[in-house]
Structure 1
Amino acid sequence: MTRVIVWRHGNTDWNAGHRVQGQTDVPLNDLGRRQAVEAAELLVRMRPAAIVSSDLRRAADTAAALAALTGLSVGTDDRLRERYFGAWQGLTMREVAEQRPQEHARWTAGEDVVGGDVETLDDLGKRVSEAIQDAARLVPDGQTVVVATHGAAARQGVGHLLGWPREQLRTLRALQNCHWVELTDDPVRGWQLAAYNVGVLADRPVPPPV
């Protein structure tokens, strides 16, 4: 049984400002770098055999904190990037609601097609779940791989992998910065969710999943 840890990156200034990042390459801030180190100190105990990351800096630098403790190199996969938020990127969520109210309403309702060149949930889920499955194939059965990615990408990718409908997936809270999902791939039972939103100091405020 292979274990996959789907790990959200640490905090950024855009997270702190409730600004939509999407695929904008925003770096970690001081808090985010500290979160990455703290989380890595827990994840190293799982003895990962491989680490794969989104190529965006906030995820890659988060993964690097674990690589420093394990001696592993970090592979990159651009399919693990955050959802592309099109015209929303760089705006605060308040600005999105004010400037693009119809699109914001569709996003709030969890609709697949939002508009504004925002990537559909179906496309997001497919590409991230494919990347997770490919990462799992990097390690022998019974070992662990860590996948560093982003909030919306993690939730949608995991949901697609598990075959959950969007209505069920919306019942999950957004992953906190530097928290993770634990999945297992069993030869008989297939993919299963073992844990969700695990990490250091789980009482920290939840930033938007963008």
Structure 2
Amino acid sequence: MTRLVVWRHGNTDWNAAGRVQGQTDVPLNDLGREQARTAAPLLAGLRPDVIVASDLRRAVDTAAALAEVTGLPVRTDARLRERHFGQWQGLLLTEAAERFPDEYARWRAGDPDPGAGIETLEDLGKRLGAAFQDAADLAAGGTVVVTTHGGAARQGVGYLLGWDHRVMRTVGSLGNCHWTELRHGDARGWHLRTHNVGLITRPALAEPV
């Protein structure tokens, strides 16, 4: 049985402000570093064999907290980056709504291809799903922790489970430094064990931006 733990990075100043990060390389803030330090011993208790992270700093630095506890190295994979938010990256969500009202309405309604240069959910799911599978293959029969991003985590998990994007809309986004656990066996394939697990140190924005 292979266990895949999909861990969202800690809080950033852009999370706190409601600013669209996408693939912009924004670092953790003090709260995010605290969240990572708090979560790391819990994840270490799962006895991971491999740690893989998005190459964006907020994910790498979150993973580093677990690496410090376990002694494992952190491998990086650019495919684990957040959804690319096109022309919205760097904007406050309120600004995106004002400047791109039609696209914003479609995004809020769950349109998989809302426009404004935003990566489609199909492309996002395929990218993350492939990266998750490759990470899991590094320790078949063991435990792999993958540190990624909110929107990316949800679509990648959906891809592995074979769930349509409309189903995934009913699944809440991961809070900062929370995780989802999947398991894979020969008989059942990938299945969901837990979702949005973690300690809440202080209120954290769960919006996948």
1:41 equivalent to 2:41? Answer yes
Identity of aligned residues (%): 62
TM-score (structure 2 length as normaliser): 0.98
Equivalents in 2 of 1:206, 1:56: separation in Å? 18
Equivalent-residue separation in structure 2 for 1:140 and 1:205 (angstroms): 33
Distance in 1, Cα, partners of 2:194 & 2:202: 17
SS in 2 for 1:115: coil
Aligned position for 1:94: 94
Q: Distance in 2 between matches of 1:206 and 1:73?
A: 28
Q: Which amino acid aligns with 2:76?
A: T
**Distance (whole Å) between structure 2 residues aligned to residue 168 and residue 61 of structure 1:** 31
TM-score, with length taken from structure 1: 0.97
Q: Report if the CA contact (8 A) 2:20-2:93 is conserved.
A: yes
Contact 1:176 1:206 in 2 (8 A): yes
The match for 1:164 is 163
Partner of 1:113: 113
In the other structure, the counterpart of 1:193 is 192
| Separation of aligned partners in 2, 1:45 and 1:197 | 17
Deviation at 1:166, TM superposition (A): 1.4
CA distance in 1 between counterparts of 2:201 and 2:121 reads 27
Structure 2, unmatched stretches of 5+, are: none
Matched AA of 1:204: P
Letter in 2 for 1:64: A
Partners of 1:154 and 1:30 in 2: CA distance = 23
Contact 2:35 2:201 in 1 (8 A): no
Alignment RMSD (CA, Å): 1.1
Count of aligned residue pairs for this structure pair: 209
Report the Cα distance in structure 1 between the residues aligned to 2:204 and 2:41, rounded to whole angstroms. Answer: 21
Q: Secondary structure at the match of 1:194?
A: strand
Residue 183 (structure 1) aligned with residue 194 (structure 2)? no
Q: 8 Å contact 1:16–1:207 — kept in the other structure?
A: no
Instruction: Please name the residue that 1:17 is paired with.
Output: 17
- Name the counterpart of 1:135: 135
| 1:205 Cα deviation from its structure 2 partner | 4.3
Deviations 1:160-185 (A, max 9, x none): 11111111110111110000000001
Mapped to 1, the partners of 2:201 and 2:154 lie a distance apart of 17
Q: Which amino acid aligns with 2:150?
A: G
Are the structure 2 counterparts of residues 2 and 125 from structure 1 closer, same or farther at C-alpha, using a change threshold of 3 Å?
same
Which residue of structure 1 aligns with residue 148 of structure 2? 149
| Residue in 1 that maps onto 2:123 | 123
Unaligned regions of 5+ residues in structure 1, if any?
none
Q: Which runs of 4+ in 1 moved over 6 A?
A: none
Deviation of 1:140 (Å): 3.4
